[in-house]
Amino acid sequence: MAAGGEQTQSQYIIHHLTNWSVGEGFWTWHVDTLIWSIGLGLIFLAIFRSAAKKADTGVPGKFQCFIEMIVEFVNDTVTGTFHGRNPLIAPLALTIFVWVLLMNLMDLVPVDFIPYLAQVIGEHVFGMDPHHVYMKVVPTTDLNMTFALSIGVFVLMIYYSIKIKGIGGFMKELSFTPFNHWAFIPVNLVLELVTLFAKPLSLALRLFGNLYAGELIFILIALTGLYQLPMHFVWAVFHLLVIPLQAFIFMMLTIVYLSMAHEDH
């Protein structure tokens, strides 16, 4: 899908930022987000399963060393941050880090490559109008995906808060923090509930905002035509810092929030 031709620059940008959607209203499904996120999740499982099956207790190969470095990095992060006892946290942190990293890495794919293939397939196989074929390949540029991840973390936060502290203890924590007096219960509830709901909100918006901005810049670079490749390379090199950093931040905050949920005051 070229920048020029029948599309204006505004139409080109809007087309790239539009998801392949099915349904209407609340029940709209972003099919491309589902396909790429599930597909990358399966790739993550296949890679780590292969590494586990081929693991050698002797001299490990480069592939095994690479996987062990990731696992050790995540394990050290969990050990140094999480202060409770829960065998779920380390596997959860590893899953979040690698899955989000893989989804973020799709941002490095040239913005016209996969959407153009989708248009060709849609036109010649299904007889569709190419301008009505949409394909966003970076799941983390979709608010639905980032909110789905953060809501999952939020549910775990509530679950472990109630499991560790009990319903009474959890409600007491909300009612008597930070001011430990019954007269301040309304003030405490407002402050603590805002803080509680701000956690998943900030998780989702931080990841979405950084990746969406990066993708938008790649799209704007694609409009430059002749200078697209060198400019794309320069921005991609810089973006290599953003991609793992955002995956690490999402993982780190998840560990911190779940660690707070396990604290029994």
Q: Residue 229: inside a domain, yes or no?
A: yes
| Per-residue confidence (pLDDT) for residue 4, from 0 to 100 | 40
| Per-residue confidence (pLDDT) for residue 204, from 0 to 100 | 96
202 catalytic, yes or no? yes
Residues 6+ apart with CB under 8 A from 41: 99
Considering the entire predicted model, what is its pTM?
A: 0.90
Q: Residue 56: inside a domain, yes or no?
A: yes
For the record, the structure tokens of 129 come out as: 């109008």
**Out of 68-82, 98-112, 166-180, least confident range:** 166-180
17 with 8: CB under 8 angstroms?
Answer: no
Q: Is the pLDDT of residue 263 over 90?
A: no
Looking at residues 115-129, what average pLDDT do you find? 89
49 catalytic, yes or no? no
206 catalytic, yes or no? yes
Residues 6+ apart with CB under 8 A from 145: 30, 33, 37, 103, 139
| Per-residue confidence (pLDDT) for residue 125, from 0 to 100 | 86
Query: Of the residues 86, 144, 206, 259, which is catalytic?
Result: 206
Q: Residue 231: inside a domain, yes or no?
A: yes
pLDDT in tens, 192-250: 999 999 999 999 999 999 999 999 999 988 887 666 677 778 888 888 899 999 999 99
| Per-residue confidence (pLDDT) for residue 18, from 0 to 100 | 92
| Per-residue confidence (pLDDT) for residue 178, from 0 to 100 | 79
Q: Residue 68: inside a domain, yes or no?
A: yes
What total number of domains does the chain contain?
Answer: 1
Residue 41 vs residues 71, 96, 130, 237, 261: alpha-carbon distances, Å: 17, 10, 29, 25, 27
30 with 19: CB under 8 angstroms?
Answer: yes
Q: Residue 3: inside a domain, yes or no?
A: no
As a whole number, the mean pLDDT across the chain is: 89
Looking at residues 102-106, what average pLDDT do you find? 96
Q: Is the pLDDT of residue 189 over 80?
A: yes
Q: Residue 173: inside a domain, yes or no?
A: yes
pLDDT in tens, 136-164: 999 999 999 999 999 999 999 999 999 99
Cα radius of gyration (the chain): 22
pLDDT in tens, 13-46: 999 999 999 988 888 999 999 999 999 999 999 9
Please state the separation of Cα 101 from the chain's center in Å. Answer: 8
> Which percentage of the chain shows pLDDT scores above 90?
57
Domain enclosing residue 147, as ranges: 9-261
Query: Of the residues 37, 161, 188, 210, which is catalytic?
Result: 210
Q: Residue 1: inside a domain, yes or no?
A: no
| Per-residue confidence (pLDDT) for residue 98, from 0 to 100 | 97
| Per-residue confidence (pLDDT) for residue 243, from 0 to 100 | 94
Query: Of the residues 21, 50, 180, 202, which is catalytic?
Result: 202
Looking at residues 87-113, what average pLDDT do you find? 94
Q: Residue 4: inside a domain, yes or no?
A: no
How many C-beta atoms surround the C-beta of residue 254 within 10 A?
A: 26
| Per-residue confidence (pLDDT) for residue 227, from 0 to 100 | 63
